Structure formats: structure tokens, C-alpha cells
């Protein structure tokens, strides 16, 4: 990491620490909120179906922009959303990543009930990491990305299948970002701004959404949502831009009985797709993303390694995340 990157990183940590300290005295009575929550009738999320959608993506091979496997998987995602009755749009362009390299970008958007004004935006990224930068023995090998990428998409495709069968009162947009995970690692030090060559699809969309003037009540981002006993915490950027919505999602999760997965404790800020949705697009965005304080990265031990494969996908975790999102959607009223 360069000196300028290191300095900026220290500043980022200080800001995050200060932010969390500011929230440390904030202890709302979430148990009372859970008790008061009324759950509306909702569709049943099928974890086996979500798992199959994860496997389908992984079976294409690494989803690295510019490769045949990436193109094939993208075609499959478009076909699947079309089959479920979504109005599908694509954003096709190229973006610049580290060292001035240009790579193709393909954001995929599926809209359900596009005529409805009140909308929720559901977000995941579908590209996979080109290197195992946390796996010293396989550093330059691409990962399967079963967790990091495919798990969030798998959850949202199962939600799409349910929306095709049962229409809620509100409209739902599913946005699958590309070029989220193509940045170089900080340790490579090839440029002072190496850490910012991530989330390129999200940054592109935030500046030029698929519909001019697009608005949603809020967004929910899902990534790394399938590990056994995964914990999802109140992440800093979510609490900064979408505290009310984040607590609402967690309250519904607890009402459904998923308190072991959804934890009401604050954790560090993470610069991910949700940051750009909140800070640039102005849409409050909730991040459902694994936090693991037993690892030095804060993510699961599989993260950016060859262990990010189908063998560690857990259907119980998929059920907890997927059913929570479905319940959030069906709890929304049109007015």
C-alpha cells in the first residue's frame, strides 16, 4: 500500500471509529419494536431454489468481465428475469479500473410492476473476483464466488420467482451490478487510488440510473449471505444513510425468528455498493452482508479464497435472509 493510501485508510478508520462512538450510546428498545411488529401474509421463500440459482451461476465458471463465462452467465440472468415476468433493462458500457485498464460492464435490471409509484430496490453484484488475494497458495487464481456475488444474486432470483407468482402492493426493482469486485488489492500498491476501483457498476448506475429520475423508498443490498451461522450486523454506512430502514429490516428478521443471524450491534463502515446508492443516488440503502469478527478481514474465512465455493453454502442462512426480504416487501403498503 502506498503512503497516500495508508494515510487515507487511517483517516477512514478514524472517521468510522468516531461514527460508531457517536452511536454507542444509542440503545433503542428493539425488543419492544419486535413485539409491536405485525407481519402481513407473505410468500414462502424456498432456500433450495435459491441454492440452485447459486449453483447455476458457479457452474458457468468465473464471472470475470470480458470472458465467455461472464457473458454466458449474464445471458442466463437476463433470461431468468424475463421468464419471471420482469421488465428487463441492461446498462452496457466499459469502466476504468486500476492501472488504466478498461473492462466491459453489464448492469442488469429487472422491474416488477413498473407502473407502481412506490418501489423498493433490491441489489446484488454478479461478477466474481479474478484473484484469490487472501489465499497465498492460489493468489492469482479466480474464485468461484459462491458467497461473494452468487449468494446475493441467488436470493434475489428466488425473490423474483415469487414476485412472478404473487404481486405485492408495491413495485420492486432487482438491480444486479457488474464490475463490483474487479479492483486490485491494496497490498499490490500499483496506484494510490487502488482501493477505489471497486463497485464500478454501482458508481456508474448512481450517476446515471436505468430510469431518469429513478426513486425508491429504500434499497436493500445483499452480498455474502449464505455461510453457516453468518451474522449480519448494523453496518456503519447503512446506519449513516438508512438507519430507520436498517432497524426496520432487522426488526422484521427478529419477528420471524432469525435473531441468531441478524444482530442489533453496530460494526465498522464498509465501502460497498450500498455506499454509492446512499451517498450518490440519494436512496437509503440497507446492507445485509456477513460480518465475522473472528477473521482479520471482518468477513468469512472463505473471503477472496478458493474456499468460496458451493460446499460452504448453507440453506438455513439463505432462508433467513430470503424470507426476511420477502416479508419486508409484503409488509409494505401502497400508501
DSSP 177: E
For position 223, which CATH number holds?
3.40.630.10
So what's the pLDDT on residue 89?
98
How many distinct helices (H) and strands (E) make up the chain? 9, 8
Q: Which domain holds residue 35?
A: 3-331
From residue 24, alpha-carbon distances to 27, 139, 316, 319, 328 in Å are: 8, 38, 31, 30, 27
Residue 111 DSSP SS3? strand
Are 25 and 113 spatial neighbours (Cβ–Cβ below 8 Å)?
A: no
Are 185 and 194 spatial neighbours (Cβ–Cβ below 8 Å)?
A: yes
> How many distinct structural domains can be found in the chain?
1
So what's the pLDDT on residue 28?
62
**What is d(CA 83, CA 160) in angstroms, rounded to the nearest whole number?**
10
Report pTM: 0.91
Per-residue confidence of the chain (335 residues) as pLDDT tens digits? 333 333 333 334 333 443 443 344 344 688 999 999 999 999 999 999 999 999 999 999 999 999 999 999 999 999 999 999 999 999 999 998 877 889 999 999 999 999 999 999 999 999 999 999 999 899 989 999 999 999 999 999 999 999 999 999 999 999 999 999 998 754 444 455 555 689 999 999 999 999 999 999 999 999 999 999 999 999 999 999 999 999 999 999 999 999 999 999 999 888 899 999 999 999 999 999 999 988 888 899 999 999 999 999 999 999 999 999 999 999 999 98
Which residues make Cβ contacts (< 8 Å) with residue 185, sequence separation at least 6? Answer: 131, 133, 194
What is the distance, to the nearest Å, from the Cα of residue 265 to the centroid of all Cα atoms in its chain?
A: 19
So what's the pLDDT on residue 195?
57
**What is d(CA 280, CA 144) in angstroms, rounded to the nearest whole number?**
30
**93-132 as b/e: b if 16+ CB within 10 A:** bbbebbeeeebbbbbbbbbbbeeeeebbbbbbbbbbbbbb
Amino acid at each position: 500500500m502506498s503512503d497516500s493510501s495508508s494515510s487515507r485508510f487511517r483517516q477512514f478508520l478514524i472517521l468510522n471509529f468516531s461514527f460508531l462512538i457517536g452511536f454507542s450510546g444509542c440503545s433503542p428498545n428493539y425488543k419492544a419494536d419486535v413485539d409491536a411488529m405485525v407481519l402481513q401474509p407473505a410468500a414462502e421463500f424456498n432456500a433450495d431454489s435459491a441454492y440452485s440459482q447459486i449453483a447455476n451461476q458457479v457452474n458457468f465458471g468465473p464471472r470475470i468481465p470480458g470472458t465467455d463465462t461472464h457473458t454466458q452467465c449474464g445471458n442466463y440472468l437476463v433470461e431468468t428475469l424475463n421468464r419471471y415476468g420482469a421488465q428487463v433493462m441492461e446498462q452496457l458500457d466499459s469502466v476504468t479500473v486500476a492501472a488504466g485498464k478498461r473492462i466491459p460492464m453489464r448492469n442488469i435490471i429487472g422491474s416488477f410492476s413498473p407502473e407502481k409509484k412506490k418501489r423498493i430496490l433490491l441489489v446484488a453484484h454478479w461478477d466474481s473476483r479474478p484473484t484469490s488475494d487472501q489465499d497465498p497458495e492460489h493468489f492469482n487464481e479466480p474464485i468461484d464466488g459462491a458467497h461473494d456475488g452468487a449468494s446475493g444474486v441467488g436470493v434475489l432470483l428466488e425473490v423474483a420467482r415469487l414476485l412472478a407468482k404473487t404481486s405485492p402492493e408495491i413495485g420492486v426493482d432487482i438491480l444486479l451490478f457488474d464490475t463490483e469486485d474487479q479492483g486490485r488489492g491494496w497490498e499490490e500498491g500499483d496506484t494510490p487510488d487502488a482501493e477505489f476501483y471497486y463497485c464500478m457498476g454501482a458508481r456508474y448506475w448512481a450517476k446515471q440510473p436505468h430510469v431518469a429520475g429513478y426513486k425508491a423508498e429504500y434499497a436493500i443490498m445483499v452480498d455474502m449471505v449464505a455461510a453457516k451461522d453468518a451474522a449480519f450486523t448494523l453496518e456503519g454506512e447503512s446506519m449513516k444513510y438508512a438507519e430507520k430502514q436498517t432497524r426496520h429490516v432487522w426488526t422484521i428478521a427478529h419477528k420471524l425468528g432469525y435473531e441468531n443471524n441478524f444482530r442489533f450491534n453496530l460494526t465498522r463502515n464498509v465501502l460497498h455498493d450500498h455506499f454509492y446508492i446512499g451517498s450518490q443516488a440519494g436512496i437509503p440503502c440497507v446492507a445485509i452482508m456477513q460480518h465475522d469478527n473472528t477473521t482479520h478481514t471482518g468477513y468469512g474465512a472463505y473471503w477472496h479464497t478458493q474456499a468460496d465455493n458451493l460446499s460452504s453454502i448453507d440453506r438455513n442462512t439463505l432462508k433467513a435472509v430470503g424470507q426476511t426480504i420477502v416479508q419486508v416487501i409484503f409488509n409494505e403498503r401502497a400508501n
